Structure 1
Amino acid sequence: MGTPRVLILGGTSEARELASELTERGMPVVSSLAGRVNAPRLPRGEVRIGGFGGPAGLRSWLAEHDITAVVDATHPFAERISESAATASELSGIPLLRLHRPGWRQGPGDAWHWADDLGSAARLLPSLGDRIFLTSGRQGLGAFAHLSSLWFLARCVDPPTPVPPPHITVLLSRGPYSVEAETALLREHRINVVVTKDSGGAMTEAKLVAARRLDLPVVIVRRPPRPAVSEVTDVRSALDWILHYSSKE
């Protein structure tokens, strides 16, 4: 049946690495990005930007473009596209693999406080501190807007819309970050609480190490549940899955 044509639902460093590995091997690959970042880091190979229109739209797109395998390598909090991919895979019979980046692990000296969502994270803050380093994304700033007695430094890749209230200062920046730079940033702004999502990965982990160095509490939002599909936790395993599938074609 020939070489499989792979769709990578991307936007992560793992997705870009996988696309590069497949391109190096001459395999047809399409990387799909949601389009939420103004200037995303583009992977090698063919790229499409934008949504599919839900599970039915994705199923139609897969058929129209002769896709034979799908790898969901989206951000751990991009639950909507993961649900669409699982449904479309089940309806079409096209195999689906989830490339699932492991979450961060709490270690000695970490003062972590877990929250189920951003609203729960916001409710924890008044008892923990009053100068908050917020790294949970621009789309969730509204969950903290009512906490006018607290001051926030919110780090985002792109400017948030609508404009946040005056007690939330926005820092536009993109990782990776070093421990030294993160430590200096926390000290400069007199931060006494860090808020983040359990994104995992090394690109933004430095803030957790910096918080540990400075004995700061960290509020971490748990990952949302994902559909039950085949999963791997590293690019090498995802590549092996594709190559194994290719050998059976």
Structure 2
Amino acid sequence: MKIMVMAGTRDAVRIIEKLRAFEDTEILATTTTGYGGELARSAGAFSVISKGLGVDEIVQTISQKNIEVLVDATHPFAAEATKNAIKASEISGIKYLRFERPQVPLPDDDLVHEVKSFEEAASKVKEIVKTTSKKTAGNDMEDKIPTPKVLHLAGVSTLHHLTELIPPENIVARIVPSNYSLNKCFELGLTGENIIAMQGTFSKELNEAVMKEYHASVVLTKESGETGGTLSKIDAALELGIPVVVVTRPTVPELQNQMAFEDVNQVLAELHKI
């Protein structure tokens, strides 16, 4: 069986690793970055395409590679990729399976600000920064207090929303350690001292240490589930009394009539039936 796994997440890596145990199975993985491609190949993908694919390109790949099943394990925020995968599967007449990372309930706390888009998130962060600045203005010790930073923990692809409203020197971004992510930060005006290149997921304790070290006054993140370390980020911020702006997941109406699973083993069980 020839399976296309739309990857780029730790969930996809787990799926690919488990698919290696299937007999007579070839795995083609697609990712949007070379870094994601390396992870997929290391997990056991037979071949890898490391670029974003539109509907027509997915259809063409399915035809050329004789793909029989498409497993969509893209990030919860990659809504367009999921829409493209569903459409391409329908056009090609092949089975589509979606792995949907389970959501986590957010804490009911006044310091947690839920928003629906990254544009709204950037505006909320700016509002919080202004409030924080007013509280410190006029303080006799102001010159000795390090400049409060906005800690961006929402992926480099969303960073531009923040740099449009907040000076880059006041932003600290934690990113995956890839050339693409580093170059993107530099393009947006961040310097090396404000870039943390690390591969997660991270513990609450490590997140607390980062927030303290960089004098975070507000944290921006997204609801990317337990795998994405959502709660460990939020809990760390709340422990330190730091406001958190959380972007909630986009809805994908096209998924309503599709086979979607929140457990990797359920995806594998469905593939065993084919």
TM-score range, shorter chain: 0.7 to 0.9
- Using the size of structure 2 for normalisation, the TM-score is 0.79
Amino acid at match of 2:208: T
Counterpart among 6, 10, 24 of residue 7 in structure 2 = 10
1:110-166 Cα offsets, whole Å, 9 max, x none, are 732122221111111133235311012222222122323982211112314352335
Amino acid at match of 1:148: P
1:182 aligns with 2:211: no
Give 1:217's aligned residue: 243
- Using the size of structure 1 for normalisation, the TM-score is 0.87
Deviation at residue 203 of structure 1 after TM alignment: 4.5
Provide closer, same or farther for how the CA distance between residues 117 and 19 of structure 1 changes in structure 2, counting only shifts above 3 A.
same
SS in 1 for 2:39: coil
User: Is the contact made by 1:73 and 1:100 (CA closer than 8 Å) also made in structure 2?
Assistant: yes
Number of residue pairs matched?
A: 242
User: Is the contact made by 1:14 and 1:234 (CA closer than 8 Å) also made in structure 2?
Assistant: no
User: Is the contact made by 2:152 and 2:219 (CA closer than 8 Å) also made in structure 1?
Assistant: yes
Give 1:19's aligned residue: 16
Amino acid at match of 1:159: L
SS in 1 for 2:182: coil
User: Is the contact made by 1:133 and 1:152 (CA closer than 8 Å) also made in structure 2?
Assistant: yes
Amino acid at match of 2:236: A
Root-mean-square deviation (Å): 2.4
Deviation at residue 72 of structure 1 after TM alignment: 0.2
User: Is the contact made by 2:117 and 2:247 (CA closer than 8 Å) also made in structure 1?
Assistant: yes
User: Is the contact made by 1:35 and 1:49 (CA closer than 8 Å) also made in structure 2?
Assistant: no
1:159 aligns with 2:182: yes
SS in 2 for 1:194: strand
Give 1:196's aligned residue: 221
Amino acid at match of 2:233: K
53-62 or 96-105, which deviates more: 53-62
1:218-244 Cα offsets, whole Å, 9 max, x none, are 111122232222211110111111112
User: Tell me, which stretches of 5 or more residues in structure 2 are unaligned?
Assistant: 130-147
Amino acid at match of 2:262: T
Higher helix share: 2
SS in 2 for 1:134: strand
Deviation at residue 40 of structure 1 after TM alignment: 4.2
